[in-house]
Amino acid sequence: MSAFTPEQEKVLVAWTKRYPYPNMGLVEALRSVQEWHRCVTPAAAARVAELFELPFSRVWGVATFFPSFTTKPTGRHRVGLCHGLSCSLAGSDKMETCLEETLGTKAFETSADGKLSWEPMECLGACEQGPALLVNDRLQGQATPDKIAKLKELK
Amino acid sequence: MAKRVKFKLNGREIEAEEGRLVIDAAKDVGVEIPHYCYHPALGNPGNCRMCVVEVAGAPKPQISCRTAVREGLDVQSDSAAAKRAQASALELHLVNHPLDCPVCDQSGECGLQDYYMKIGQYQSQVRENKQHKDKRVEAGPHVMLDQERCILCTRCTRFVENVTKTYELGVFRRGHAERVELTPGKVLDNDYSGNVVDICPVGALTDRDFRYKVRVWYLDKTDSVCPGCSRGCAVSVHTNTKRPWHNDGKRVARLKPRYNPEINGHWMCDEGRYGFGSLDRDRLGRVLRLAPREEELSWDAACAAIASELRGGAVAFVASGMLSNEDWSAAKTLFAGAKFYFTPEPDQIGAEDALLKRKEKVPNLKAAEALGLKSGSFDELAADLDAGRVRVLYVVERDLGRIWGEERAKTLVSRAACGVFQGPNACAVSEAFRYRLPATAYVEESGRFTNFEGKVSKYEKALEPIGSAKPDWEIFDAIRAALETSGKGAAA
Amino acid sequence: MTKILTKHFDEATLHELATYERLGGYQGLKKALAMAPADVTAEVVKSNLRGLGGAGFPTGAKWGTVPPTDKVPGPRYVVVNCDESEPGCFKDRVLVTRAPHQLIEGLLIAAHAVGARQTFIFIRGEYQNQYDVLARAVAEAAAAGHAKHASIDLMRGAGAYISGLDTALLETMEGKKAWPRQPPPFPTVAGLMGQPTVVNNVETLSMLPFILREGGEAFAKIGSAKNGGTVVFSVSGHVEKPGVYEVPMGTKLRDVLALAGGVRGGRKLKCVIPGGTSMPPLMEKDLDLALDFDAIRAAGTFLGAGGMIVLDETADAVEVAHNIERFLAHESCGQCTPCREGSFWNEEILHRMLHGKATAEDAPNLARIGENITGKVICALGDTVGMVTRAYLQRFPEDFKKRVSSNG
């Protein structure tokens, strides 16, 4: 049984055809898998390898290399808090504590309902708005207790 | 033919092919530059940074595995700066290495140890805790993996990616979390898995068959040839005679492939590598007449008795591709006029592949062919025996029970007026012969095999024979001498 | 002060094609397409444009190393490096958000110059908002007929800093781990899928419309010797007004700081990281340094990608070094031993120093380890691992000493 729905398989096949060479779509395909499953499991990576006609070990190497891919599910909303130098100077440690207390989970842990997880991230390219907050790969400006409290209202 | 150019290595002028890697050109003239990741058959990823050398005119140290020889190149591999760079690369290799040499099987042949003795700084500056990874992974039937000892040179992963294309191992995760691991769901069970142990420069991949058996510095190494199939891979036989109470008392501790660009390159298959287990099983050491009652003979008496049997003619000579070129040649002379039977039967036929493995699981059928010897079929031989047309059945290193079945073989052997069995090991039917002569195993003699392509390889004597065993050709020659003493050749 | 890239940033709809065209957009491309490719490259050589992604390599010269098709047949590619991840850098994010067409026009000019029929914008995955902006702008440009000579496609990364290094970026694009390659061959000779590939940064390519429109000489005149045009600094840290500031090459550090409102709260300056955290800091004595690639190099550090982080007197050098080394240890790709093990070791020592267990041997040991890494690794990240701590040790030895005496 495939790790994917027929629609998802179509998306993956489309990634094999998007660029001049099939393998060029691999990282994007794994991004899709991460989005659907909130993680990339060996079974899912193995199916991707089949579709891309690549050795599984190569795909698994890529899946375990890049920080965007996780082996255990993140929350449906994946929250990142930058702890690069500028954000650290701007007090990212206090916002980490705020995330931990407000969401009730430690870094890299997913809430029991599967909705939220948060993690410190390396420089998010928003140093002038530090500490920078990221939700599902979209920058949210400076992290504040208010913004963090609102994360709980996400569906 | 590539152009030959002159370059300088440690002040000495050297000639080499233009474009040859400095690390190889240095080795050609006996200068070993320390390295882990580079392997001539697996490429030069340049990740270990151990082979750093000083190159005149270069702003920083260069790695000799990615520096090509060119006219006028001036390289220092043992200057103070080069050695310092090598020592610092070594120090960084040891930051997370467990230094568990006393319990590591690689001790004595470990790249970390060797270079540490050569260029190491002897006081560790590491005060931090080392990273913990999996120390005991059963990677496959033959190989254990210790991730803590691994220095991530990627030789093993390149082997399974580029040589066997089986992808059982990979480098997964990233940075200092990175490790060599089994690909999920896979087991390192390809037909060449043992090679990863050989190419691992440290104790991360060790041989399950050899682990904890004997320390490598007690072993003696002898050039040999694998008798496992007609490829005839160059091997080194590692024998344990200095500590006979180690290695479960077995004299051969392991086989390692020996580089031979013409035949096997750097590799050998697992079948050949681990196939020596039966070497010392049921060894024959005494010259015996078994019937009418068991009695030990001198070689002279046995040869004289057998010579007189041969004089009567109707001789069938059974052998196998286990014979050396020398054995075949002596057999051809002694048994001129006899019928030969050596064609491989199903028990000597197995799997072959595109890499090394050949389907004939004996090393030397080619020499018989080269001497013009023709094999009759074993069905024919059975019919002749059954009909009493064979007076003397002379069998060398061949188990007829595996061709005809044990019971039938015994019956057929008994139809010959005189049976002679010669070989290193007893077999199921060896008791059915009148004479039983002990022969040396290939590790106890020197000789030559001719492989399927006609390439001749020499193997050397690694061990003393058991009891009074002699090489086959010596036995044949002694019988021939006995025949000639009485002035007659073997009868047709 | 002369501005090139941010000149029209007060236009609210600059990201839209109509606004961009109204302000002279795509005129440079039009001019370029009417020229022979070699002449476009010659104009860029004349401009003294340097690679603004960090390396500072002359852009025209880089293009000039793309071999002719009779030597290396097959397709050529241009890849936009929009994997901005160096701590302290955010100008590419601002440039693609506000002026996506400026980048696209530059990309299409570059494609014409090097004969590429296919181009790619590689953007970090965390810039999803910017990806959307770019995707829309690419569609607009194509619909307007600007991209007839070359296609543009987008691709996202997956969170690895090292993907921002050109050869690691190409590995990522090929669906592999982002392990840097070891040139030669350089990407312009054998890049994406082994074909000649020009990898240029967002800011670099964004300069091209001006250069083609106004001429290489006009661009060169704006900057300092051998450093044409302007540079966009991303300024953050202890300043009153963090943000992007575009200044001509050769502008004094003091003046850039003034644009950002100076050190916050009137505090005393400790140091300024000029180009992102991988670069050693400049000191108060350097305030009158005229900032360009060569002057900063002469001062012992690098312009990098212009990620300027200002540190005031409250900053502690051990904490700063630890933050940077932690980042590098996290982002080390693991390919070569000195970087993989050295970054881990550095971070561990600095971590211990921060937690009250510093010893007198730590500082000399860190200096020694750093020396053993820099210059003996595969890529620039590894060089940085060895360089950063040494830089802070050398400039702020008292901060490290304090950690030893404050123990226990």
Return the pLDDT at B491. 43
Residue A98 shares a structural domain with residue A145: yes
Which chain B residues have any C-beta within 8 angstroms of a chain C C-beta?
Answer: 45-49, 52, 60-61, 66, 85, 88-89, 91-93, 95-96, 125-129, 131, 151-152, 171, 173-178
Helices B406-415 and B378-386 pack at an angle, to 10 degrees, of 60
Residue A105 shares a structural domain with residue A148: yes
B51 HSE (CA, 13 A, CB side): 25
Contacts with C, A 39-98, CB within 8 Å? 52, 54, 58, 61-62, 65-69, 80, 83-86, 88-89
Average pLDDT over residues C39-64: 97
In this structure, is residue A70 part of a structural domain? no
In this structure, is residue A120 part of a structural domain? yes
**Average model confidence (pLDDT) for chain B?**
95
Which among A30, A83, A124 is the nearest to C158, CB-wise?
A: A30
Residue A86 shares a structural domain with residue A144: yes
Phi-psi region of B303 (alpha: psi -120 to 50; beta: other; left: phi over 0): alpha
Write the CATH number for A102: 3.40.30.10
Domains assigned to chain B: 4-93 (3.10.20.740), 288-485 (3.40.50.740)
User: C309 CB near a chain A CB, below 8 Å?
Assistant: yes
User: How far does the CA of residue A11 sit from the closest CA of chain B (Å)?
Assistant: 25
| pLDDT over 60 at B490, yes or no | no
**Average model confidence (pLDDT) for chain C?**
97
> Number of folded domains in chain A?
2
In this structure, is residue A82 part of a structural domain? yes
Average pLDDT over residues C155-164: 98
Residue A149 shares a structural domain with residue A81: yes
Average pLDDT over residues C327-339: 98
Distance CA C51, CA C29 (A): 20
Return the pLDDT at B487. 55
In this structure, is residue A72 part of a structural domain? no
Chain C residues touching B178 at Cβ < 8 A: 334, 340
The per-residue pLDDT for range C171-199, each reduced to its tens digit, is 999 999 999 999 999 999 999 999 999 99
User: How far does the CA of residue A67 sit from the closest CA of chain B (Å)?
Assistant: 9
* DSSP SS3 for B154: coil
Where are the strands (E) in A40-144, listed by range? 77-82, 116-121, 132-135, 138-142
User: How far does the CA of residue B185 sit from the closest CA of chain A (Å)?
Assistant: 8
Task: Kindly provide the b/e burial profile for residues B403-423, where b requires at least 16 CB atoms within 10 angstroms of the residue's own CB.
Answer: bbeeeebbbbbbbbebbbbbb
The per-residue pLDDT for range B266-278, each reduced to its tens digit, is 999 999 999 988 8
Residues 6+ apart with CB under 8 A from B12: B29
Residue A148 shares a structural domain with residue A82: yes
| pLDDT over 50 at A64, yes or no | yes
Phi-psi region of C257 (alpha: psi -120 to 50; beta: other; left: phi over 0): alpha
**Chosen from A64, A66, A108, A122 to mutate, greatest number of chain B CBs within 10 A:** A64
Task: Kindly provide the b/e burial profile for residues C365-383, where b requires at least 16 CB atoms within 10 angstroms of the residue's own CB.
Answer: bbbebbebbbbbbbbbbbb
In this structure, is residue A84 part of a structural domain? yes
Terminal-to-terminal C-alpha distance of chain B: 55
Residue A81 shares a structural domain with residue A34: no
Q: Which of C269, C362, C377 is nearest to C328 (CA)?
A: C377
Residue whose pair of structure tokens reads 């179509």 in the numeric block: A10
Residue A113 shares a structural domain with residue A49: no
Return the pLDDT at C165. 98
Distance CA B135, CA B205 (A): 11
| pLDDT over 80 at B121, yes or no | no
Here the ipTM equals 0.98
Residue A110 shares a structural domain with residue A135: yes
Return the pLDDT at B343. 95
Residue A58 shares a structural domain with residue A21: yes
In contact, B168 and B189? CB cutoff 8 Å: yes
The percent of residues in chain B predicted with pLDDT above 90, rounded, is 94
In this prediction, residue A1 has a pLDDT band, given cuts at 50, 70 and 90, of: low
In this structure, is residue A71 part of a structural domain? no
User: How far does the CA of residue C304 sit from the closest CA of chain A (Å)?
Assistant: 15
In this structure, is residue A33 part of a structural domain? yes
In contact, B421 and B436? CB cutoff 8 Å: yes
Average pLDDT over residues C106-133: 98
Contacts with A, C 109-168, CB within 8 Å? 118, 120, 124-129, 153, 155-161
Return the pLDDT at B437. 98
Residue A33 shares a structural domain with residue A57: yes
Q: CB–CB of B170 and A61 under 8 A? A: yes
Is this structure's pTM higher than 0.90?
yes
Return the pLDDT at C83. 98
DSSP summary character for residue A105 = -
Return the pLDDT at B249. 86
Q: Which domain holds residue A149?
A: 77-153
In this structure, is residue A88 part of a structural domain? yes
* DSSP SS3 for A138: strand
Residue A35 shares a structural domain with residue A11: yes
Return the pLDDT at B233. 98
Phi-psi region of B163 (alpha: psi -120 to 50; beta: other; left: phi over 0): alpha
Q: Which of A65, A21, A15, A51 is nearest to C194 (CA)?
A: A21
Residue whose pair of structure tokens reads 């500490």 in the numeric block: A131
Chain C residues touching A84 at Cβ < 8 A: 87-88, 277, 323, 327
Return the pLDDT at B277. 84
Q: How many CB atoms lie within 10 A of CB B387?
A: 9
Residue A47 shares a structural domain with residue A108: no
Task: Kindly provide the b/e burial profile for residues B248-270, where b requires at least 16 CB atoms within 10 angstroms of the residue's own CB.
Answer: eebbbbbbbbbebeebbbbbbbb
Burial (0-12, 13-18, 19+ Cβ within 10 Å), B463: buried
Q: Which of B27, B7, B9 is nearest to B17 (CA)?
A: B7
- 3-state SS of chain C is CCCCCCCCCCCCCCCCHHHHHHCCCCHHHHHHHCCCHHHHHHHHHHHCCECCCCCCCEHHHHHHCCCCCCCCCCCCEEEEEECCCCCCCCHHHHHHHHCHHHHHHHHHHHHHHHCCCEEEEEECCCCHHHHHHHHHHHHHHHHCCCCCCCEEEEEECCCCHHHHCHHHHHHHHCCCCCCCCCCCCCCCCCCHHHCCEEEEEHHHHHCHHHHHHHCHHHHHHHCECCECCEEEEEEEECECCCEEEEEECCEEHHHHHHHCCCEHHHCCEEEEECCCCCCCCECHHHCCCEECHHHHHHCCCCCCCCEEEEEECCCCHHHHHHHHHHHHHHHCCCCCHHHHHHHHHHHHHHHHHHCCCCCCCHHHHHHHHHHHHCCCCCCHHHHHHHHHHHHHHHHCHHHHHHHHHCCC
The per-residue pLDDT for range C262-319, each reduced to its tens digit, is 999 999 999 999 999 999 999 999 999 999 999 999 999 999 999 999 999 999 999 9
The per-residue pLDDT for range B225-256, each reduced to its tens digit, is 999 999 999 999 999 999 999 988 899 999 99
